[in-house]
Amino acid sequence: MNLPAIITALSVNLQPYLQYGVNAEALLYAICQNETRGGELGKFIRQEPNFFSKYIEHSNDPKVVRLRNLYGNRLAVSMGPFQVMPMVAYELDLDENDPPEILLNYEINVFYAVQILIKRSIPSATKFMNSLGKIHYSVSSISKDLHFVRSIADAYNSGNATDKIIPKKYMDDAEKWYLSFVDNKKRTLK
């Protein structure tokens, strides 16, 4: 299956977790565009040295120690069309016997991107959205669905939508790609 077909197929698993009418396929498309220009750079492996020194190198967690002994700094990279980090995939139950490079397989990569969104990004974005309250939306110029997309993109990129790390350009680009996909879909359906 090619990348667009994989995204379409796996977006069905994501849709039930989204609120405010956010379109799962458009969200996946937007994140993929942000991460690797829509998969164009999906075969490249990006080193994440700060991740290794911060989360892996000195960890005493038995699972992290086991994986560090098996794969070393290969855990501290991001790869595939969604730039999934192997350490995160192992935390989300990727089989420890599978080498990190298995994430270069597009179906596996998209599957774990969806898992990251379901188990981490969407809950973080939901918490952030709930913290805003109703007053925010009475004065905000941005609709709830786009605010949710931006919050999910923030959490996907920085790990948490409620922290002080706000990747504005990443969020702006996610919104742009999301709207582009939704608009193209509407034109196709007419």
Q: Which of 55-59, 135-139, 157-161 has the weakest average pLDDT?
A: 135-139
Number of domains in the chain: 1
Q: Which of 43-47, 99-103, 127-131 has the highest mean pLDDT?
A: 99-103
CATH number, domain at 167? 1.10.530
Residue 122: domain span: 3-189
pLDDT given for residue 132 in this prediction: 82
89 pLDDT exceeds 70?
Answer: yes
Question: Region 115-140: what's the mean pLDDT?
Answer: 83
pTM over 0.85: yes
Q: Are the C-beta atoms of 78 and 89 separated by less than 8 Å?
A: no
Question: Region 93-110: what's the mean pLDDT?
Answer: 98
Alpha carbons 88 and 90: distance in angstroms, whole number: 5
In this prediction, residue 98 has a pLDDT band, given cuts at 50, 70 and 90, of very high
CA nearest to 176, candidates 44, 40, 20, 38 = 38
The sign of the torsion formed by the CA atoms of 24, 162, 172, 88 equals negative
pLDDT given for residue 49 in this prediction: 86
Question: Which token pair is 141?
Answer: 């110029």
Question: Region 22-38: what's the mean pLDDT?
Answer: 97
In this prediction, residue 137 has a pLDDT band, given cuts at 50, 70 and 90, of low
CA nearest to 30, candidates 11, 2, 51 = 11
